[in-house]
């Protein structure tokens, strides 16, 4: 009850804070509308090419890789992919770097033999995850084949000589259509500005610890018999509930007022928002624990959030394939959250989404562990 009381009071104080209300609620809603309308022509004039150019390098001569090639020749798959065969990886990689193809599908020479031996075998897809959403289409198609290969129909078909892939059954779960949607400007900035807003929660976390956890307030609570960990978790819970409520209201406003496309998988989007909120607060707490000064902590976090947002394409949509910036994007929690949400909305690779969520979860655990360790040392 003590933790809940502290959380409730912190939640109410955050809502009554006019600075929080303006900077982390009203301002982002306005910015989403401004960017979404002023840059709409840029997004709409961009060529939306659903059909993707793919290079296939098949080093395997077995029946399973032959079945995959037959799968790619299916008329429905041809609606999405232009497939070209290559013998050398170097040549395909050159075309990928030049942007002439969207991805490379590579099959190792022992692919069929591994399947026959019951060992793990994979079809490798090499693509740029941020160039556009065609890369996600390719991954979804490959995953559809792999999932179908595991069905009884695919296994039984081996007894008939060549692998005749059961296309209809294998693609029942595929979410691709010729009317596949890509984000408009308003859709894109609704996601990026929402994540940016959540990341500014780092400053809330920093300020909460700086103003309360190690100030006179903690001394009064200690006299009342309240433990340090109760104060810590109560404060963190109150900040989290406010930040999550703020992001959820922003999502609802952008959906019903601006008509933003948030897809249909709301449970997964909410999970991503929850992890991002917790990670944001934990980053703020960690920075304060490291510097021990609220003003310095705020200044550092302002720079960090600006970096996270810029490098993830939050301000301007970036085309950075093959550059250092592409690698640096994975240092940004904003990038991980954005990619996970975009994949969820627009039918991207589920495995890729799980990877992003796993990294976010791991970062949360690391931040909490380090913050707890530093917090104990400060109190002691």
Q: In what order do the strands lie in the sheet with 81-85?
A: 81-85, 52-58, 103-107, 123-127
- Over residues 82-134, the pLDDT tens digits come to 888 898 888 888 888 777 788 889 898 888 888 777 777 788 888 754 445 56
Please report the pLDDT score of residue 215 as a whole number: 54
Please report the pLDDT score of residue 346 as a whole number: 80
Which region among 148-157, 178-187, 351-360 has the lowest average model confidence (pLDDT)?
Answer: 148-157
Residue found under tokens 């093959």: 322
Residue 176 has pLDDT above 50, yes or no: no
Strands 123-127, 103-107: parallel, antiparallel or unpaired by DSSP?
antiparallel
The encoded tokens of residue 272 equal 């991503």
Strands 81-85, 52-58: parallel, antiparallel or unpaired by DSSP?
parallel
H/E element, 107: strand 103-107
Q: Which of 2-6, 127-131, 144-148, 228-232 has the highest mean pLDDT?
A: 2-6
Residue found under tokens 């429905």: 76
Burial class, 301, CB count within 10 angstroms (exposed 0-12 / middle 13-18 / buried 19+): buried
The encoded tokens of residue 98 equal 């030049």
List, in order of start, the domains of the chain with CATH numbers.
2-43+183-379 (no CATH), 53-170 (3.40.1710.10)
* Cα(209)–Cα(223) distance, integer angstroms: 19
Residue 135 has pLDDT above 90, yes or no: no
Which residues, in sequence order, are bridge partners of residue 58? 107
Tell which residue, 200, 188, 279, has the closest CA to residue 25.
200
Please report the pLDDT score of residue 164 as a whole number: 42
Q: What are phi and psi of 131, to 5 degrees?
A: -65, -50
């Amino acid at each position: 009850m003590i933790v809940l009381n502290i959380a409730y009071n912190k939640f109410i104080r955050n809502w009554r804070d006019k600075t929080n209300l303006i900077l982390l609620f009203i301002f982002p809603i306005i910015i989403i509308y401004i960017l979404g309308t002023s840059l709409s022509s840029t997004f709409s004039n961009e060529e939306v090419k659903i059909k993707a150019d793919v290079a296939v390098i098949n080093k395997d001569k077995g029946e399973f890789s032959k079945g995959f090639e037959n799968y790619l020749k299916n008329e429905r798959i041809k609606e999405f992919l232009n497939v070209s065969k290559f013998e050398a990886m170097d040549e395909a990689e050159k075309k990928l770097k030049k942007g002439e193809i969207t991805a490379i599908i590579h099959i190792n020479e022992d692919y069929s033999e591994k399947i026959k031996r019951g060992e793990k075998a994979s079809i490798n897809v090499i693509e740029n995850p941020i160039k556009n959403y065609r890369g996600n289409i390719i991954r979804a198609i490959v995953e559809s084949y792999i999932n179908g290969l595991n069905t009884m129909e695919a296994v039984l078909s081996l007894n008939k000589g060549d692998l005749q892939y059961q296309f209809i059954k294998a693609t029942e779960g595929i979410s691709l259509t010729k009317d596949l949607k890509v984000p408009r400007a308003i859709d894109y900035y609704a996601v990026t500005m929402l994540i940016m807003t959540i990341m500014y929660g780092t400053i809330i976390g920093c300020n909460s610890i700086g103003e309360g956890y190690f100030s006179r307030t903690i001394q009064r609570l200690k006299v009342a018999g309240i433990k340090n960990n109760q104060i810590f978790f109560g404060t963190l819970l109150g900040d989290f509930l406010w930040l999550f409520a703020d992001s959820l209201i922003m999502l609802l406003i952008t959906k019903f007022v601006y008509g933003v496309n948030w897809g249909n998988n709301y449970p997964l989007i909410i999970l991503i928002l929850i992890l991002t909120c917790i990670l944001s607060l934990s980053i703020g707490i960690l920075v304060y624990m490291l510097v021990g000064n609220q003003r310095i902590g705020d200044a550092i976090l302002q720079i960090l959030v600006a970096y996270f947002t810029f490098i993830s394409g939050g301000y301007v949509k970036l085309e950075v394939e093959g550059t250092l910036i592409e690698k640096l994007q994975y240092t940004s929690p904003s990038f991980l959250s954005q990619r996970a949400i975009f994949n969820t909305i627009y039918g991207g690779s589920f495995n890729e989404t799980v990877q992003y969520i796993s990294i976010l979860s791991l970062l949360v655990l690391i931040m909490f562990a380090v913050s707890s360790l530093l917090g104990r040392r400060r109190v002691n």
